[in-house]
Chains A and B, each alone.
Chain A
Amino acid sequence: GAGVSQSPSNKVTEKGKDVELRCDPISGHTALYWYRQSLGQGLEFLIYFQGNSAPDKSGLPSDRFSAERTGGSVSTLTIQRTQQEDSAVYLCASSLFGGAATDTQYFGPGTRLTVL
């Protein structure tokens, strides 16, 4: 079946602009995760949605970052007033149930964000 898809694959923006990144999880997966991968920091957790529960936003680096998940499926990560340090690859993952260390997360191809 189809895996996790993300769009756009690449995004170049100017400093100060807002951007939206989209994630389509695997059909039937109730948990969705956003991570960020950058040269200096490696792969970092950002936010986690599980079913209808309130999302875990503990990894969001600032209040410029927000995410929503509509209808328990598609998710959008929004970065407002982008800064150059936001440049990174943003990865989305989904898992069947969430809430368990052994529930495998499957990743999308990522969105490469470049802030000029």
Chain B
Amino acid sequence: SQELEQSPQSLIVQEGKNLTINCTSSKTLYGLYWYKQKYGEGLIFLMMLQKGGEEKSHEKITAKLDEKKQQSSLHITASQPSHAGIYLCGADGRPSYGKLTFGQGTILTVHP
């Protein structure tokens, strides 16, 4: 089965700083999802990447997919306290199924 490894496990930054979270898969990625979770709010969909080299941005968050390395990175520019939460990557190692495996999550704290 597919496994996703996220790094770092936790991150504490000062407001305004840039940061990067990585997600590495043990198998081929057919669709890589990034979600954000705050306590009691379930998972909020951020972005989905499906092609090697693809890059997507939403406000100050950019995600990239490196198909060869089976890895995705999530970059936040000029972090704000509102960015704090748990970031989860999820993926399905098969192209036509849709059952997601998730990484263990990265806990982000942003100090004002």
Contacts and interface: CB of A to CB of B under 8 A. Distances in A.
Interface of A: 4, 6, 9, 31, 33, 35, 42-43, 45, 48, 50, 56, 59, 91, 93, 95, 98-110, 112
A107 B43 contact: yes
Contacts, number: 71
Interface residues of B, number: 28
A43 B33 contact: no
Contact of A109 (B41, B88, B97, B102): B41
Contact of A42 (B33, B98, B102): B102
Interface of B: 30-31, 33, 35, 40-45, 48, 50, 88, 90-92, 94-105
Given A109-B40, A109-B41, A103 B98 contact: yes
Given A99-B97, A102-B50, A42 B104 contact: yes
